[in-house]
Amino acid sequence: MKKSKLLLLLCFSLVLSMFLSACYGKDEEKASNEGSKGDTGTKTKTEQVLNTYETAEIPTMNTIMAQDAVSLNVMNQVFEGLMRLDKDNKPTLGMAAEEPQKNEDGTVYTFKIRDAKWSNGTPVTANDFVYAWQQTIDPKNATPYGAYMMGGVIKNAAEIGEGKMAPDQLGVKAIDDKTLEVTLERPVPYFLSLMTFPIFYPQNQEFVESKGDQYATNSDNMIYNGPFTLSDWNGTGLSWKYKKNDSYWDKDTVQLTQVNVNVVKETGTAVNLYKTGKVDRAALSAEYVTQYENDPDLNKYLEPTIFWFKFNQERTGKKTALANKNIRMALSLAVDKQSMVDTVLANGSVVANYEVPKEFAFNPESGDDFRKGNGDMNEYNLDKAKEYWKKGLEELGTDKLDLEILGGDSEVSKNMDAYFKNQLEKNLEGLSIKLKEVPFKIRLDLDTKQDYDIQVAGWGPDYQDPMTFSDLFVTGGSQNKMGYSNPEYDKLISDAKTTLATDPQARWEALQKAEKILMDDAAISPLYQRAKAVLQQKYVKDLYVHPFGPEFSYKWTHIEK
Amino acid sequence: MTKYVLQRVIYMIITLFIIASFTFFLMKILPGSPFNDQKLSAEQVHIMNEKYGLNDPVPVQYAHYIFGLLKGDMGVSFQFDNHGVTELILERIGPSAMLGFQAMFVGTLLGVILGVLAAIYQNTWVDYSSTFIAVLGKSIPSFVFAALLQYVLAVKFEIFPVAFWNGFSSSILPTIALAMFPIATGARFMRSELIEVLGSDYITLAKAKGASSFEIAFKHAFRNALIPLITVLGPLAVSLMSGSLVVEKIFSIPGIGEQFVKSIMTNDYPIIMGTTLLFAFALIAIILVVDLLYGVIDPRIRLAGGKK
């Protein structure tokens, strides 16, 4: 009797462990069965299945609400606009059947819509674009990017966005089912590249309205006109699939039959999944790059994203020491950026001594990189930095300065900030740096309030033109929350948008001249151009990474084992 | 008993109301807004705020929220277009609850077993091993265990899945990672309580009567030693909730914990409120269960004031 209770406990533990292992066995069996059906990692030679991941859930699949990286990426696989980015990141024909016709001054574009179908069999028409674009700019929908991307580009967009005009006044109309006419505010040289951005995709009015509030809340409440359809997405889940869309006009080009996507938020987990063959690609953060430096699967590529110091010249209504050009120039020249990208970042990022990134924008006539004209400016130069510093302090009538660097709270950001502090304090006598490391949202809040001295900020492009960077720093510009104003700079940007819009060469030169002014003023101090390091299986072919808008295209991807 | 439970339920509702109100105002102090994206103009932010009622004065927003809550409406997430908070919670509560219960069950069971063995075989290798496990469990955070387990058992030996949620098999590693702390706490508590109880007079009497060690431990001492252990179940549950925030992320589990952290980072007010209330409810419910368990384990403990 006394020993029976112990025996009972032991028996219970045994039964429990048997039950647990039995359950696990069943799940394993199920998983391997699914695998053979093509749902998980195992692939045969002929199987065209890609296993990949995203770093966050899909916030929205309603194209008018597009703004974040994951949504843009998913939308690019399952929808298609008038144009889509090709293998060389050039806009190529999508729903447009042929190159659009332009009027003489480049403000009216006429597109012929190809004979394409939505996945429910209804044809894609010109009205699908008119409907979607009007929804995008309608203030009642509060779309995040409507006014930002359309304002000043599509006729009347700015006024409609501000509620001063009705959405049907937008410069877009359906001449007939297959003809779309777009009227612009001004000639926009990069207009076709804008057309690859999801807020310009079409929407089938009848279908959208039939679903009401439920439209795009899960993969069943949508229809698709892209290379793939979305499936197994419940609206908030951590996994989904793309399946080849048999209604897609160019379905013969699409070789993948399925793409399995899971959300993986930790780099370590992604690397482990890659090592066990569960995903075919894994992006690496700096600490992993060093570890995989000699791995044949490692690929590095430069992104057109630049990080810089923003020097705030006016804080809480008062001019700061950074309003002094010599001080700004001294700070710009005093950081050894090469050593930073080599040791702190160590992920292939390169030193940026410029505002417009390299390998991003090319002269429309000669094809030369934007960097060929201006090259490097404000490079690290300790002697000059000290000279400027001395002069600046004299002008300010002081021999010491206390400044604050506002940065992010990630490990990499903190390491970088510590490096900047060390460099600046060591190289500029009398300078004392305080670090303020906050989450991204708070940094943006402080930026909006212009409540900082020096901020480590970055920018990635939205379309393929230097303007996506250049107009940030005009007086009142979207990133110019630092009190910078130079009428000459403003004029050059304004000219590039208006009078020079139809003269590509003159416009190009104006933009290069503007960049030079920005650097001469040391309004910002560029630090580095970011690179991405990824592990990718050799059998994954033609997976294209785009420098702006949606990151990937799986349209041409195939598995070759 | 019924009266006591009813009374506690009323207290629970009042507590939840206070927590909801407190969290609401605290949340409004959070810096930033859900829409302070770099690319949004001030006008656009104004339009977005208007759409979600964020331009109203805070007391008005509070009244709207409480009124909605009374009707069972927790609002719409800012992160997920057109998805209700209730819907999101219902979709994600499953995996989190499963992990939580499994970790609690496994953790307490193994903790008790280890503690009992350590007490019976005091100052032997069994005791030292138990102490060693307890020290590990207490001092190493669950996410470190998670990463280690993932590397060793999933990547090196490929026994378990690395990540993703496919039911029970996917829950084993996160459960072990989460259970380490309860195992350690349970083992230490059980050991010290049992040693104390084993030193009592009535145990000496039992020994004098010739009872065996196991009989003494399980028949006479175990129940008395359990009561303090039950007291720590509440805090243990809290540690599991906070541990699951990171563990869910490491194993890519679609749970509510990870979403809670993200909602704070993105100022997604309705989700912050929804998940806070959910966690608060879970904690209050656990405290109630613990209180009820006292009476079950030791009937001498009265739940309500006894009649004179």
Q: Which residues of B touch A235 (CB under 8 A)?
A: 80, 83, 87
CA distance A447 to A434: 17
Q: Do B163 and A62 touch (CB under 8 A)?
A: no
Residue B293 CB-density burial (10 A; 0-12 exposed, 13-18 middle, 19+ buried): middle
Average pLDDT over all residues of chain A: 90
Residue of A nearest to B88 (CA): A236
Least confident of A96-105, A256-265, A367-376, B287-296: B287-296
Instruction: Say whether A245 sits in a helix, a strand or coil.
Output: coil
Model confidence at A37, pLDDT cuts 50, 70, 90, reads very low
**Does pTM surpass 0.95?**
no
d(CA A304, CA A350): 11
Of the partner residues B44, B166, B218, the one whose CB lies closest to the CB of residue A31: B166
- Is A272 touching B (CB cutoff 8 A)? yes
pLDDT class of B41 with cuts at 50, 70, 90: confident
> Which residues of chain A does B33 touch, with a Cβ-Cβ cutoff of 8 Å?
441, 445
Instruction: Fill in the DSSP letter of residue A140.
Output: G
Buried b (16+ CB within 10 A) or exposed e, A297-330: ebeeebbbbbbbbbbbbbbeeeebbbbbbbbbbb
The confidence score (pLDDT) of residue A30 equals 40
Q: In terms of CA atoms, which chain A residue is nearest residue B35?
A: A144
The predicted model gives A349-373 an average pLDDT of 93
Q: Is the pLDDT of residue A343 over 60?
A: yes
Phi then psi for A63, rounded to 5 degrees?
-60, -30
In this predicted structure, what is the pLDDT of residue A254?
97
Contact criterion met (CB < 8 Å) for B265 and A67: no
DSSP state of B306: P
Count of CB atoms situated within 10 Å of the CB of A36: 10
pLDDT tens-digit series, residues A481-513: 999 999 999 999 999 999 998 899 999 999 999
Using a CB-CB distance cutoff of 8 angstroms, which residues of chain A are in contact with residue B219? 2, 5
With CA atoms as reference, the chain B residue closest to A461 would be: B39
Count of pairs with CB atoms under 8 A, one residue in A, one in B: 162
Chain A residues whose beta carbon lies within 8 Å of the beta carbon of residue B85: none
Q: How many angstroms away from the CA of B6 is the closest CA of chain A?
A: 35
pLDDT at B303: 58
CB burial readout B84-123, b (16+ within 10 A) else e: bbebbbebbbebbebbbebbbebbbbbbbbbbbbbbbeee
A162, A262, A272 ranked by CB distance to B154: nearest: A272
Q: Where are the domain boundaries for CATH 1.10.3720.10 in chain B?
A: 87-302
Name every chain B residue with its beta carbon within 8 A of the beta carbon of A275.
155
Q: Name every chain B residue with its beta carbon within 8 A of the beta carbon of A473.
A: none
- What whole-number distance in Å separates Cα of residue B70 and Cα of residue B63? 11
Question: Cβ contacts of residue A336 below 8 Å, gap of 6+?
Answer: A380, A423
C-alpha neighbours within 13 Å on the C-beta side of residue B228: 18
DSSP H or E stretch at residue B113: helix B85-120
CB contact under 8 A, A264 and B252: yes
How far off is chain A from B111, nearest CA to CA, in Å? 13
> Is A3 in contact with B214 (Cβ distance < 8 A)?
yes
- Looking at residues A128-137, what average pLDDT do you find? 97
Which residues on chain A are in Cβ contact (under 8 Å) with B41? 147-148, 478
Q: What's the gap between Cα A366 and its chain centre?
A: 27
Q: Inspect the interface and report whether the beta carbons of B39 and A145 lie closer than 8 Å.
A: yes
Q: Using an 8 Å CB-CB cutoff, list chain B residues near A57.
A: 79-80
Beta strands A401-407 and A431-437, pairing class: parallel
Quick check: A297 contacting B, CB < 8 Å?
Answer: no
Cβ separation A6–B50 shorter than 8 A: no
Q: Which residues pair with A51 in a beta bridge?
A: A260
- The 3-state secondary structure of A143-187 reads CCCHHHHHCCCECCHHHHHCCCCCHHHCCEEEEECCEEEEEECCC
What are the pLDDT digits (tens) for B42-55?
777 888 888 888 88
**Within the 503-522 window of chain A, which residues sit less than 8 Å (CB to CB) from chain B?**
none
Contacts of A60 in chain B (CB under 8 A): 80-81
- Please provide the average confidence, as pLDDT, over all residues in chain B: 86
**Nearest beta carbon to residue B166 from set A27, A61, A445:** A27
Distance from CA of A442 to the nearest CA of B (A): 5
Check pLDDT > 60 for residue A34: no
Show residues of chain A in contact with B254, CB under 8 Å. Answer: 236-238, 263
Residue A29: pLDDT over 50: no
- The candidate with the shortest Cα–Cα distance to A213, out of B76, B263, B158, B101, is B76
A440 touches chain B (CB under 8 A): yes
Q: A539-551, pLDDT tens digit by residue?
A: 999 999 998 999 9
Per-residue pLDDT, A138:
93
- From the list A303, A292, A297, the residue with the least C-alpha distance to A279 is A297
Pair of tokens at residue A461: 């492009």
Residues of B in contact with A28 (CB under 8 A): 169
Between A157 and B225, the higher pLDDT residue: A157
Q: Considering only residues A146 and A181, tell me which one the structure prediction assigns the higher pLDDT.
A: A181
CA separation for the pair A22, B237 (Å, rounded): 27
Q: What is the pLDDT of residue A518?
A: 97
Q: Cα(A79)–Cα(B202) distance, rounded to whole angstroms?
A: 77
Residue in B with minimal Cα distance to A4: B215
User: Which of A218, A265, A307 to probe the B interface (max B CBs under 10 A)?
Assistant: A265
pLDDT at B218: 74
> Given CB atoms, is A273 within the 8 Å cutoff of chain B?
yes
Measure the CA–CA gap between A46 and A194, rounded to whole angstroms. 37
**Which of A443, A413, A442 lies closest to A527, judged by CA?**
A413
Q: For a pLDDT cut of 70, what percent of chain A falls above it?
A: 92
As given in the structure block, the two tokens for residue A91 are 């806009």
Distance from C-alpha of B175 to C-alpha of B255, rounded to nearest angstrom:
13
Chain A residues within 8 A of B179 when measuring between CB atoms = none
> What is the average pLDDT across A367-382?
94
**A336 φ, ψ (degrees, to nearest 5):** -80, 95
Residue scoring higher pLDDT (A16 or A407): A407
What pLDDT is attached to residue B216? 80
ipTM of the complex: 0.86
C-alpha to C-alpha distance for B117 and B112, rounded to whole angstroms? 8
Residues of chain B contacting residue A148, judged by C-beta atoms under 8 Å apart: 39-41, 44
User: How far B87 CA lies from chain A's nearest CA (Å)?
Assistant: 9
Superfamily of domain B87-302: MetI-like (1.10.3720.10)
**Residue A27 distance to chain B (closest CA, Å):** 6
The per-residue pLDDT for A18 is: 40
- What is the structure's pLDDT at A83? 97
CA B111 to chain centre: 17
> What is the β-pairing status of strands A524-536 and A298-311?
antiparallel
Following CA atoms A292, A295, A297, A299 in sequence, which dihedral angle do they give, to the nearest 10 degrees? 60
Give A 52-91 residues with CB within 8 A of chain B: 57, 59-62, 65, 67
Q: pLDDT by residue (tens digit) across B89-105?
A: 998 888 998 999 899 99
pLDDT in tens, B149-199: 999 999 999 999 999 998 899 999 999 999 999 999 999 988 988 888 888
Domains observed in chain A: 14-262+539-559 (3.90.76.10), 302-532 (3.10.105.10)
Which of B167, B170, B249 is nearest residue A265 as measured by Cβ atoms? B249
Mutation to test the A interface, candidates B252, B266, B268, most A Cβ within 10 Å: B252
pLDDT at B223 over 60: yes
Identity at A9, one-letter amino acid code: L
- How far apart are the C-alpha atoms of A290 and A346, rounded to whole Å? 7
- Using alpha carbons only, give the angle A174, A180, A185 rounded to the nearest 5 degrees: 100
The residue assigned the tokens 């219902």 is B90
Contacts of B106 (CB under 8 A, 6+ apart): B175, B176, B179, B182, B183
Lowest mean pLDDT among A126-130, A318-322, A425-429, A440-444: A440-444
